[in-house]
Structure 1
Amino acid sequence: MNEQRQPTLQGVNGAEPRGYEGFAGVIAPRSSQSQPWWPSPVRAPEGAPNVVVILIDDMGFSDVEPFGSEIDTPAIQALADEGYRFTNFRVMPVCSPTRAALLTGVNPHRAGFGMVANINPGYPGLRMELPDDMPTLAETFGSQGYSTFMVGKWHLTVESKMHDGADKSSWPVQRGFDRYFGSMEGFTTMFHPHRLVRDNSPVTEEFADDDYLTDRLTDEAIDMIASLRAGDSSRPFFLYFAHNAVHGPVQAKADDIERQRGAYDAGWNRIRAERFERQKSLGLFDANVELSPSGPEDTGGVQPWDDLDDSRRALFARHMEVYAAAVTAVDDSVARLVAHLKDIGEYENTIFVFTSDNGGTGEGGLEGTRSYFSQFTQQPSMPEGWIADVPRPLADMGGPRVFGHYPMGWAHVSNTPFRMYKGSTQEGGVHSPLIVSWPAGLARKNADDGIRAGFTYVTDIAPTLVELCGITRPETLRGVPTEAIDGESFVPALRDDRLPERSPAQYITMLGGRAFYEGKWKVVASRPSMGPDDLSPWSLFDIVADPTEVRDVSSQHPDIVADLAEKWRRAAWHNTVFPLPDEPKMLATVPSTELEFERPVRLLPGTPTLERHRSAKLVALRSIEIIARFEGDAGEGIIVSHGDQGGGYIAWMENDHLHVSYNAYGHMHRSHLPMATGVTLVTLRFDALNDFAWRISVELDGRTHTLFERVPMLVGMAPFTGISVGFDGGGPVDWELHERHGMFRYRGGLRGVEYVPGARAPYNREVVVAIDDLSARLLD
């Protein structure tokens, strides 16, 4: 008889190691009755499905084929054909709040995201970090035996904590994902992404000019699944695929753009009308529903297509061709993912959720833009003469050299049949497409068309997935009880379309815009109430009979308006909505801890590209000095690079000359000077001038040379790519230099580059609040 033997720890000379008794509970005492010591793994329920959540950025309700689009999206259409389309699904008006609500099932302000993660005014509903007691879907699925993967846009970490030295407790891996690849920021470029992160580390590889981010994210997602299956043949996975498309700058592959050639020459009025007719023929809306009006007074100033001249029609049509091409790339991504799951025999037992985070955006302005960061300035007003659309060749649009975005007229089409855009609490900002498919578990009955008209909200996705997968949400997280969710599972609507519709009571608030839904009613306001004399900023709509908000009936039902307004107020208090940010300075408030980022910093050659926000704090809306130190042979290559084709500056040595290029949102300025032998110090000076401008000079051997007397200052999100020393990281600033040398790593005696921030410009509206005694002394 073989006696089962317990493993032992071997110490020096065969003796048991000191502290062996401390291993009790890990290695059981020696006994013939003892069992193996290793713990049982956590396993998902037998036969549990995989889950894939696909979230598109800034895509309107009608931009894919199952919701009325002319854009060919067969893979997404196939998901809808096998699954369910929700025609009454709402999200938040901007991305971060929607993402927080989707991943937690908790209303966005309670989850800390009443706005995008690019602000930090210090209020509970705007703290820009997911609370420790609200598990993400990754944490929920991971605790139940799932592998958890994410690719793409995160945007749930306050930007001051996205640099490599930051506390990473709010990064994807720390919030439950086993693996992560993507952009931590709110957006990035589709060619030459400005900063990608793998797990907790920056990706430093060079991207080819034709590498396209949607394709790369798809490669990474498939590789994650394949790697899991190489090690475990049965463990289910949760994949959160958060596309960067179609957020600006909108870019697409040349072949995809070419396939759209001429598709939008008819203009936005006709395309929108055609989409609405398809929506009605698909059964998404009743025949008596009206298309919301398209006049300038109803759209923020969009002109009728027939009133435009030929050159503007050609330009605007090209913008939409690029946008449509980016959507087709998303569909190709879905097709590749589905094909892989079919190849490994797991498609049938995979739940798919497909949606977008808010409505189509009007941030391209009435004319659109080919210089996105010049238009997307995030400043309350810009000086007269500011160029928000630097002209570029039509042939370059959509490619890596142009950071563009379509005009508001096409955003109006994207949101067909609704009014307004991203950022608004009217339906165009919050009404998104939703598809749910699970071939093995949610097969439709023969007579079921798969259309679900009941009200659903983004917080409902998490409890629905938990119920479908037969798992439970953690009751404790990090040692504390978890907060209750706000969402409600819509599994009953998936199982039986004859069930009565859910009666919603849901608030939506974005900055001063407000809405409240209950039953067939919606009250909505676009600005905050400013006092007792502002009697009623609310409009009232019957969204069952009038889902497109054509007829305001508030004057006919003042009692309903008052009741729903009061319910909004109570919901706002419960969800930590207040205070409403009704003053610009509130959103410009930052904690004094960010002053640390404004101290001088020395960067060594080859240091991974500094994160965007960390870089911006050194240069934004101020004067600066950039000091490069050399030793021995001056050599050749990039000294310093900051920015990309969307705007930036770069200095390099070539042929015994110092070269400096300044990219003003696509308008290039270039200068060069001979570099004498033995120069050990080069100082670039950016002096802040009035009206958002810089004068740029260089000091060599004690002599100052003016390079550019006056150039438009880089503001808002520009420079987008962070600071690189000794190479051109991310997207290239000067395309001609990039074509000659690529990253052009420095070879020679460059010892380092020091940034010395100078005085703030008077138009810098940032308000710094001291949060401790040390910070108060620094401010003084």
Structure 2
Amino acid sequence: MTRKTPQSLPFPRTPSGSRAAKTIQESVYNPLPQEAHLDDDVPNILIVLIDDAGPGLPHTFGGEVNTPTIEKLSAQGIAYNCFHTTAMCSPTRASLLTGRNHHRVCAGQIAELANDWDGYSGHIPKSSALVADVLRNYGYSTGAWGKWHNTPAEETTVAGPFHNWPTGLGFEYFYGFLAGEASQYEPNLVRNTTYVAPPKTAEEGYHLSEDLADDAMRWLRNHKGCQPDKPFFMYWASGAIHGPHHVHKQWADKYKGKFDDGWDAYRERVFHRAKEKGWIPQNAQLTPRHDTLSSWDSIPEDERPFQRRLMEVAAGYAEHVDVQVGRLIDEIDRLGYGENTLVFYIWGDNGSSAEGQNGTISELLAQNGIQTTVREHIDALEELGGLDALGSPKVDNQYHAGWAWAGSTPYKGTKLLASHLGGTRNPMVVRWPKGIKADPMPRPQFHHVNDIVPTILDVVGIAPPSSIDGVPQDAMDGSSLAYTFDSATEAGRHKTQYFEIMGSRAIYHDGWMASAIGPRLPWVPGTPPGIHDWDPDNDIWELYNLTEDWTQANDLASTEPERLAKLKDLFLIEAANNNVLPIGGGLWVMVLHPEQRISPPHTQWTFSGDFVRMPEFNAPALGNRPNRVVIDCDIPEHASGVLYKLGSAAGGLTCFVDDGVLCYEHNLFLVERTKIRASTKLPVGKAQIVIETTRQDSRPAGPILVKLKVNDRVVAEGEIPRSAALGFTANDCLDIGMAMGSPVSLDYAERAPFKFTGTIGEVRVSYI
């Protein structure tokens, strides 16, 4: 029954076999059986994708983070130690779900920083349909949970359009978040195409990873009850362990004291254990720390408790999400699906993230290019409860880049470095009891996330469709890895693969890899010097024989210049064929033109007084563009509550009333708070409140001046020393009349959502 020839989808409806006459008595009723498009025994499919997790973390592979689910699935199936991702979030996900290279599906950069070049537009073309759409047409039930990050940022408001949301791309059900990251305690959640609040609060024990597991398990039970004869396809993509590193204290406390000797010592231990476990070859070499990355010995003694606790939180966060995956696997088994469910558990959409740089309590500082000192973070933390606040809703902490490098043991790089395996090599475990015999020997064949879709279609017996909804389909770039299910020794079939993220790049071909780091290192704060004059032709390339050199330890560029030249030429060919050009195109918004970040085309807005949950990337840029906010309201005696807020507790701005006094706060990622407060109370009755924001100079992150006016009279003003060039959050919102999600100001955090006690008639925003 399986179809090995390409099909045009959707399949035509089964025609009626009945023949109608004038009367029922004269008519012939003969319904034809519905055509089946799948064999009866096709497997269910589950893809689990963990975020920002390096290969040196799971204890299964030599690390020091307890990962019982990976351990269990590895013992019941097979593991891959030469599997690769793209070094960045959206690109990996787009490639994983389409079977194509990331630039070819317009995902050369994260969705929020898209630009106008084809490879970076953030709009997955209809000619590269997601595997969910194919499987749905063939008869699978399809559902997705967790982090999505492949909807164009400008299309993520409550008004849509929805054709690029998960349910418009082949998933019949979605529960999760659309952005690149989210608070694990106060996420801005979507169910299908509706924004919804989390089912409980952090104080009541809420955590996003647990919620995602609960919801997926509920969906499975509903599937079992309502559609027991249909196979299912589930995509479960956690927000962990992407920043912010949020986990309840008891999970972090499990790791107290375990990392006291720092990241250099951690790498040594993990490297030796990985060899003992047979996860890496015995001749593999431990690569050295980059000379721009701090050693543990260089960390001042009084800063070490902060750095240690950051890693303890990250480790607890990682174990916690693995346990949630285990709950989902257990439910699959309990419902009787386990034997014939093909599970792909991918530990990381890229390597561990060094975006925490020197260790941070607010990880979007790095994306905004704002430089701070560790002491600023430690001092700000004291106001929030000290080290125990790390991992809590009060902060958006992320560990020092040294821990990310340690988490990528034994490789050189981290997330955002497409040039080195620490950014692109991630463990994968596959379990399918009916089709795969358990084997402890790691699969060493070179493979890539673009191979997962071809593998699924191969196993199910489906040829890639020729067209879907009338749109001819692009060829797959990946190739099935099903041949490795029964063999750890068969020669690899994925011969060539390029990598590129923001100018960092590499080309793999038949056992060799040529690499160029590019213009920036993710752990170095601030804008790289000379970035505006960067010329990729001047980059230094390295050359590695991966067949003999597992970790890119021995650069052969000087001894094999001809081979290197050929690989560089091959990279350019692949780049031209896959819309990679211009090389480094992903830097356009991120570094070169932050003022061109995704933003709505409007220059003025009119909101109702109860308007909430407008994602920041779609909202007026109240913190970094000159603007005027006009609020028509009715003020009661002792008025209190939020007039509006943009952002979250870890960074944002807000205007509110506290016992009749008009207040404004600019929270620069916790390290710098500017409060502006009127000296007298608001008049009772109808009033017009105006907040004017102007720039002091032309710098994107330069100072801004804020004036508060009531009925045309200035009641307070102040200067904000630094502003956020890109934005405050990835997933929080603009709210009017209350502070949903995460509260910006500590002054009302205990009273959140701090709904305004008066009446807001209309809010008008305009750029000036």
TM-score normalised by the chain length of structure 2: 0.88
Partner residue, 2:294: 302
Q: 1:443 aligns with which of 416, 434, 437?
A: 437
The code of the aligned residue for 1:147 comes to S
Range that drifts further, 133-142 or 494-503: 494-503
Match of 1:681 in 2: 688
- 1:250 Cα deviation from its structure 2 partner: 1.3
Instruction: Give the drift of 1:289.
Output: 1.3
SS at match of 1:197: strand
Answer whether contact 2:668 2:722 (CA < 8 A) is retained: yes
* 1:150-199: CA deviation from partner (whole Å, max 9, x where unpaired): 01111112211222223222111000000001111111111111x22111
Counterpart of 2:606, as a letter, is: R
Q: Hey, what's the Cα distance between the residues in 1 that align with 2:396 and 2:537?
A: 42
Structure 1 residue 584 displacement after superposition: 5.3
Tell me how far 1:474 sits from its aligned partner. Answer: 2.4
1:724 aligns with 2:735: yes
Q: Which amino acid aligns with 1:418?
A: Y
Q: 1:68 to 1:215 in 2, by over 3 A?
A: same
Please give the per-residue CA displacement for 1:674-710, whole angstroms capped at 9, x wherever unaligned.
1122341111222222462222221123321234333
Task: Give the CA deviation at 1:308.
Answer: 2.5
Specify the alignment match of 1:13 in structure 2: none
Structure 1 residues 427 and 654: CA distance shift in structure 2, 3 A: same
Task: Structure 2: state its 5+ residue gaps.
Answer: 1-14, 520-530
Distance 1:36 1:25, change over 3 A: closer
- 1:96 lines up with 2:103 in the alignment: no
Deviations 1:500-557, CA, capped at 9 Å, x for gaps: 3336211112232221111221111123899999578321101121121111111111
In the other structure, the counterpart of 1:637 is: 641
User: Is the aligned partner of 1:738 residue 2:732?
Assistant: no
Decide whether the 8 Å contact of 1:192 with 1:207 is kept in 2: no
State the TM-score, normalizing by the size of structure 1: 0.87
Q: Does 2:650 correspond to 1:650? A: no
Q: In structure 2, do the counterparts of structure 1 residues 181 and 384 end up closer, same or farther at CA, with 3 Å as the change threshold?
A: closer
- SS of 1:554 mapped into structure 2: coil
What is the SS of the residue equivalent to 1:685?
Answer: strand
Letter paired with 2:57: D
2:5 is matched with which residue?
A: none
Name the SS for the 2:143 alignment partner.
strand
What code does the residue aligned with 2:684 have?
T
1:58 has 2:52 as partner: yes
Counterpart for residue 335 of structure 1: 326
Q: Which letter maps to 1:731?
A: S
Within a 5 Å distance, the mapping from 1:223-242 to structure 2 comes to 223-242=218-237
* Residues 442-480 of structure 1, C-alpha deviations (whole Å, 9 max, x = no match): 123xxx424111111111111112222333432211212
Aligned mates of 1:753, 1:535 — CA distance in 2: 51
Local SS of the residue matching 2:748: helix
Structure 2 equivalent of residue 559 of structure 1: 562
Specify the alignment match of 2:70 in structure 1: 76
Distance in 1, matches of 2:373 and 2:767, equals 27
1:709 maps to 719
Match of 1:287 in 2: 282
Query: Once the 2 structures are TM-superposed, how far is the Cα of residue 115 of structure 1 from its aligned partner?
Result: 1.6
Taking the aligned partners of 1:622 and 1:142, their CA distance within structure 2 comes to 44
| Aligned match of 1:418 | 411
Deviates more, 1:692-701 or 1:543-552: 692-701
CA distance, structure 1, for counterparts of residue 36 and residue 737 of structure 2: 48
1:353 corresponds, among 341, 344, 360, to: 344
Mapped to 1, the partners of 2:137 and 2:559 lie a distance apart of 52
TM-superposed CA distance for 1:435, in Å, is 1.0
Write out per-residue CA displacement over residues 699-752 of structure 1, whole angstroms, 9 at most, x where no aligned residue: 12332123433343233230552211111111111244231x231223332212
Deviation at residue 650 of structure 1 after TM alignment: 2.4
Deviation at 1:486, TM superposition (A): 1.0
- The structure with the larger Rg is 1
CA 1:503–1:644 in 2, change beyond 3 Å: closer, same or farther?
closer
CA distance in 1, matches of 2:733, 2:538: 48
> Of 247, 252, 271, which residue of structure 1 is paired with 2:247?
252
Q: 1:536 to 1:668 in 2, by over 3 A?
A: closer
Percentage identity across paired residues of the two chains: 25
Per-residue deviation, residues 383-406 of structure 1 (Å, max 9, x unmatched): 999967763121101100011110
Offset of residue 414 of structure 1 = 0.7
Q: Is the 8 A contact 2:502 2:586 kept in 1?
A: no
Contact 1:401–1:735 under 8 Å retained in 2? no
The answer (yes or no) to whether the contact 2:17–2:29 under 8 Å persists in 1 is: no
Deviation at 1:81, TM superposition (A): 0.9
Q: Is residue 505 of structure 2 the alignment partner of residue 539 of structure 1?
A: no
Q: Does 1:408 align with 2:401?
A: yes
Aligned pairs (5 A) from 1:548-587: 548-581=551-584, 585=588
Q: Which amino acid aligns with 1:747?
A: T
- What is the alpha-carbon distance in structure 2 between the residues aligned to residue 744 and residue 669 of structure 1? 20
Distance of 2:77 and 2:720 partners within structure 1 = 58
The equivalent of 1:124 in structure 2 is: 118
* Alignment of structure 1 residues 80-479 onto 2, 5 Å: 80-193=74-187, 195-204=188-197, 207-209=200-202, 210-294=205-289, 296-297=290-291, 300-303=292-295, 305-355=296-346, 356-365=348-357, 367-377=358-368, 379=369, 391-392=380-381, 393-424=386-417, 425-444=419-438, 448-479=439-470
RMSD, aligned α-carbons:
2.8
Q: Supply the distance in 2 between the matched residues of 1:583 and 1:544 (Cα, whole angstroms).
A: 31
The 10-residue stretch of structure 1 (47-56 or 406-415) with the greater mean CA deviation from structure 2: 47-56
Letter in 2 for 1:220: D
Q: Is the 8 A contact 2:113 2:589 kept in 1?
A: no
In structure 1, how many angstroms separate the alpha carbons of the residues matched to 2:399 and 2:372? 23
Matched residue type, 1:647: G
Q: Distance in 1 between matches of 2:172 and 2:460?
A: 19
- Sort the Cα spacing of 1:38 and 1:257 in 2 relative to 1 into closer, same or farther, 3 A: farther
1:627–1:753 contact (8 Å) kept in structure 2? yes
Specify the alignment match of 2:528 in structure 1. none
CA drift at 1:407: 0.5
Instruction: In structure 2, give the amino acid aligned to 1:108.
Output: H
Please tell me whether the aligned partners of residues 638 and 651 of structure 1 are also in contact (alpha carbons under 8 angstroms).
Answer: yes
Separation of aligned partners in 2, 1:383 and 1:283: 42
Distance 2:235 2:32 in 1: 31
CA distance in 1, matches of 2:365, 2:273: 37
Instruction: State the alpha-carbon separation in 1 of the partners of residues 716 and 33 from structure 2.
Output: 70
Match of 2:514 among 519, 523, 534: 523
After TM superposition, give the deviation of residue 237 of structure 1 in Å: 0.8
For the structure 1 residues 70 and 217, does the alpha-carbon distance in structure 2 shift closer, same or farther, using more than 3 Å as the test? Answer: same
Instruction: Decide whether the 8 Å contact of 2:314 with 2:399 is kept in 1.
Output: yes
Rounded to whole Å, the distance in 2 between the matches of 1:316 and 1:724 is 34
What letter corresponds to residue 612 of structure 2 in structure 1? Answer: P
* Matched residue, 2:11: none
Query: Which letter does structure 1 place at the counterpart of 2:394?
Result: R
Where 2:28 maps in the other structure, the secondary structure is coil
Mapped pair 1:602 → 2:606: yes
- Structure 1 CA distance for aligned equivalents of residues 243 and 140 of structure 2: 33
Is 1:661 matched up with 2:656? Answer: no
Q: Which piece of structure 1 moves more, 711-720 or 74-83?
A: 711-720
**Shift of residue 408, structure 1, vs aligned partner:** 0.9
Write the letter of the residue equivalent to 1:321: E
Q: After superposing the two structures, state which structure 1 stretch, 449-458 or 704-713, moved more.
A: 704-713
Structure 1 residues 564-595: Cα deviation after superposition (integer angstroms, max 9, x where no partner): 12222211111121122369557666999977
SS at match of 1:328: helix
For residue 274 of structure 1, report the CA deviation from its aligned partner.
Answer: 0.8
Alignment partner of 1:648: what SS?
strand
CA change 1:405–1:593 in 2 (3 A) is: closer
User: For the Cα contact (< 8 Å) 1:182–1:217, is it kept in 2?
Assistant: yes
| Deviation, structure 1 residue 58 | 0.9
In 1: Cα distance, 2:375 partner to 2:601 partner = 29
Rounded Cα–Cα distance in structure 1 between residues aligned with 2:624 and 2:372: 14
